[in-house]
Structure 1
Amino acid sequence: MQNLPVSSLLNSHQALLKNQHLLTGRLALLGVASAHLLPELPAGGLAMSEHAGVYRALQSHEAWQACFGYEDPALLAEGTYDSIVVFLPKARAELEMRLALARSLASENARLILVGEKKEGIVGAIKQLKAVAPQVAKVDSARHCQVWCAQAIEPAPGFRVQDWLTWSVAECAGMSVEVAGLPGIFSQDGLDNGTRMLLDTLAEQPVRADRVLDFACGAGVIGAWLQAKQVAREEPVASVDGVDVQAQAVICARETYQRNRVTGTIHASDGLAGIDALWSGIISNPPFHTGVKTDTSMTEQFLQDVKRHLKPGGELRLVANSFLPYESLIKRHIGRVERLREDRRFTVYRAFRGK
């Protein structure tokens, strides 16, 4: 495999490569954002990503043990790694969980390296790092990033992602469901306003479908709520499948479905690539951020792909921030589109695939 120019790598990955002399012994990388980093490192090891697409790319590197998120069986290898790199996650709460995972993987006298961009909060994250590694020191500032290193961290075996699960109640239109949460998952702190508007329209104008897909399902609140509402109204219960790209979301959605006895399957996938199923209804509150940047590429790709997964006459219902250009994209890829509800922040769109 041909290596890319180092300058084309992510800033945090470039900063690590500049300091790869710190990487001794058995190596674990937690939170890898691009598989292009791996060929630049001299030896293999463990590489974990929470992103389903990145994880699949990691699998193509034979010298590396690829892991998907915090529940991968390969992470049971406690006390195995001598150098552990933690890339700064987007959510501050997730860093605490990622550090706990790092300590469970650490051998005696292991070295822990934290790498992150300044704009993503590396300076504030150091307090969390010092809580588990008081002797940590900054070793470099490069590519708008900082690199911190802690020598001989204290191992802490027994990491289980289930210990980090929390539960909350989501209520809308008189119907409540229990929802699982993990650090780093969107809307862990409650039902967001966009999803609430979407659920309100589903209560007033239900999607007529025997099988539904919740794209970018997050913690599974839409599927759980939809089936609970159908049961309460004594309506036919639609199977609600879910797709999400993030490992924590997949874990939470499966837990939410189990707790609420929801019928449906949760898939880990980067968009609809590799999924062959057809649905008569597709619902989504898609993300539009990558880190701190607005990024609609995932939803644009979804709208390009969705028609081949929607049965003739099937409905697409989507909520999005009103400033995003989704109406024209839905019209182009699906057909005539209408606005079911809107306010200054959000709009719920509905479109049907032609027969």
Structure 2
Amino acid sequence: MPALPNSHEALLKNREYLYGRLAILGPADPALMPALAGSGLVVTERFGLWQRLSSLEGWTAAFGYDDPVLSPGCADTVVVFLAKARAEMALRLELASWLVAKGGRLILVGEKKEGISGAVKQLRALAPQAAKIDSARHCQVWQADHLQPSETFDVRQWLQWHGVESSGVRFQVAGLPGIFSAGALDAGTAMLLDSLASFPLKDGPVLDFACGAGVIGTWLQLYQRSLGEPGTQVDGVDVQSQAVICAHSTYQRAGAAGTITASDGLERVEGKYAAVLSNPPFHTGIRTDTSMTEEFLRQVAGHLEPGGELRLVANSFLPYQELIRRHVGPVSAIAGDKRFTVWSARRH
């Protein structure tokens, strides 16, 4: 069996501190749960990982922070793995303090190089009695006992709104901790929106892959309406729970139309589209990872109508041009600078 992440190995080394009903927040590898040889609740924000966790015997898997299987006081021990962003760590700790039973235990685990020291400060703000119980596998393991649980938890209380403007169209976008580019319009998406104004799409349904908070689909519909045209329905798909929540919220506030789907890649997307748009991610945690986009490029032609367009913005150094040409069709750069390139391809 492949080696588990360092943080998972550190937890297994200290499994004697786990007691009673378990809840595990933010694991990276589903192999951890069978290694714990127990049962309980496991929470992930990633749809593909949730699917794998759902198949584990004895474990109840929750997708994100609003899954209906989550309930207060359901765990005697809650294990929280380090989140990559400080704001999401605060969200995880608040969820943990709602899931834990009165007098229960919280275990925090994370790698030193990924910022466990900052998370410890957040833990101690919640539980001043927290103490380190081990350093192992370049990680620290902290424990807090006799917790007083929170009475309420609602992820939508964490929603924050910010304005976005492009080509004279302004609207409000929902943000949650852990979502890409929360609080601002990132430069890559801005370039993609400019290209949609300069080179309009042909008529027909549109899919926004890795839709995030729903910026592209909302803007496109509002921009078309500003020109006196009926807004094209834009469906969205994303792997992350927070993105799905935010996209629903952004669409609802703007009066945009489209179905938002949680999916690992295009697995749960049905039908064909006149255009597929994307500003896909290329990071997993702190590491460059283009595997999801490469898999998307291998599959996207099957979701394009004949002659349908793929329009994608990406960092200019990423090697997508040949993949797009091979799997979709003739490709050209229709906008770009040293940082980003907008690629346009028509299905063969």
Question: Which TM class, normalised by the smaller chain length?
Answer: over 0.9
1:237 partnered with 2:231: yes
1:105 partnered with 2:99: yes
Could you tell me how far 1:177 is from its partner in structure 2? Answer: 1.4
1-structure distance, mates of 2:242, 2:57: 25
Kindly indicate whether the alpha-carbon contact (under 8 Å) linking 1:79 and 1:157 is maintained by their aligned counterparts in 2.
Answer: no
Percent identity of equivalent pairs:
59
| TM superposition score normalised by structure 1 | 0.96
Could you tell me how far 1:21 is from its partner in structure 2? Answer: 0.7
Q: Match for 1:50 among 14, 21, 45? A: 45
Kindly indicate whether the alpha-carbon contact (under 8 Å) linking 1:209 and 1:314 is maintained by their aligned counterparts in 2.
Answer: no
What is the identity, as a one-letter code, of the residue corresponding to 1:73? P
What is the identity, as a one-letter code, of the residue corresponding to 1:63? G
1:60 partnered with 2:55: yes
User: Which residue does 1:193 correspond to in 2?
Assistant: 187
User: Which residue does 2:13 correspond to in 1?
Assistant: 18
Could you tell me how far 1:22 is from its partner in structure 2? Answer: 0.9
1-structure distance, mates of 2:40, 2:203: 46
User: Which residue does 2:245 correspond to in 1?
Assistant: 251
Q: How does 1:74-223 map to 2 (within 5 A)?
A: 74-75=69-70, 77-223=71-217
User: Which residue does 2:64 correspond to in 1?
Assistant: 69
What is the identity, as a one-letter code, of the residue corresponding to 2:185? L
Could you tell me how far 1:36 is from its partner in structure 2? Answer: 1.3
User: Which residue does 2:289 correspond to in 1?
Assistant: 295
Q: Secondary structure in 1 aligned to 2:77? A: strand
1-structure distance, mates of 2:268, 2:231: 27
Kindly indicate whether the alpha-carbon contact (under 8 Å) linking 2:161 and 2:183 is maintained by their aligned counterparts in 1.
Answer: no
Could you tell me how far 1:274 is from its partner in structure 2? Answer: 3.4
What is the identity, as a one-letter code, of the residue corresponding to 2:56? H
- Consecutive unaligned residues of structure 2, counting only runs of 5 or more, are none
What is the identity, as a one-letter code, of the residue corresponding to 1:215? F
2-structure distance, mates of 1:80, 1:53: 24
Kindly indicate whether the alpha-carbon contact (under 8 Å) linking 1:210 and 1:237 is maintained by their aligned counterparts in 2.
Answer: no
Kindly indicate whether the alpha-carbon contact (under 8 Å) linking 1:136 and 1:149 is maintained by their aligned counterparts in 2.
Answer: yes
Could you tell me how far 1:154 is from its partner in structure 2? Answer: 1.8
| CA deviations over 1:82-124 (Å, ceiling 9, x no partner) | 1000011111101111101000111111100011111211112
| TM superposition score normalised by structure 2 | 0.98
1-structure distance, mates of 2:283, 2:274: 28
What is the identity, as a one-letter code, of the residue corresponding to 2:112? K
Q: Match for 1:29 among 24, 27, 52? A: 24
Could you tell me how far 1:189 is from its partner in structure 2? Answer: 2.0
1-structure distance, mates of 2:72, 2:230: 47
1-structure distance, mates of 2:89, 2:203: 40
Q: Secondary structure in 2 aligned to 1:70? A: coil
2-structure distance, mates of 1:301, 1:257: 27
Q: Secondary structure in 2 aligned to 1:217? A: coil
Could you tell me how far 1:324 is from its partner in structure 2? Answer: 0.3
1:268 partnered with 2:262: yes
1-structure distance, mates of 2:346, 2:334: 13
Could you tell me how far 1:325 is from its partner in structure 2? Answer: 0.2
Could you tell me how far 1:198 is from its partner in structure 2? Answer: 0.4
Kindly indicate whether the alpha-carbon contact (under 8 Å) linking 1:52 and 1:247 is maintained by their aligned counterparts in 2.
Answer: yes
Could you tell me how far 1:210 is from its partner in structure 2? Answer: 1.6
Could you tell me how far 1:336 is from its partner in structure 2? Answer: 1.0
2-structure distance, mates of 1:259, 1:300: 33
Q: Secondary structure in 2 aligned to 1:328? A: helix
2-structure distance, mates of 1:326, 1:348: 11
Kindly indicate whether the alpha-carbon contact (under 8 Å) linking 1:177 and 1:221 is maintained by their aligned counterparts in 2.
Answer: no
Could you tell me how far 1:18 is from its partner in structure 2? Answer: 0.8
2-structure distance, mates of 1:23, 1:150: 12
Could you tell me how far 1:236 is from its partner in structure 2? Answer: 3.3
Could you tell me how far 1:209 is from its partner in structure 2? Answer: 3.2
Kindly indicate whether the alpha-carbon contact (under 8 Å) linking 1:105 and 1:157 is maintained by their aligned counterparts in 2.
Answer: no
Indicate the RMSD between aligned Cα atoms, in angstroms: 1.0
Aligned residues: 348
2-structure distance, mates of 1:144, 1:239: 48
User: Which residue does 1:305 correspond to in 2?
Assistant: 299
- Consecutive unaligned residues of structure 1, counting only runs of 5 or more, are none
Q: Secondary structure in 1 aligned to 2:65? A: helix
Kindly indicate whether the alpha-carbon contact (under 8 Å) linking 2:261 and 2:268 is maintained by their aligned counterparts in 1.
Answer: no
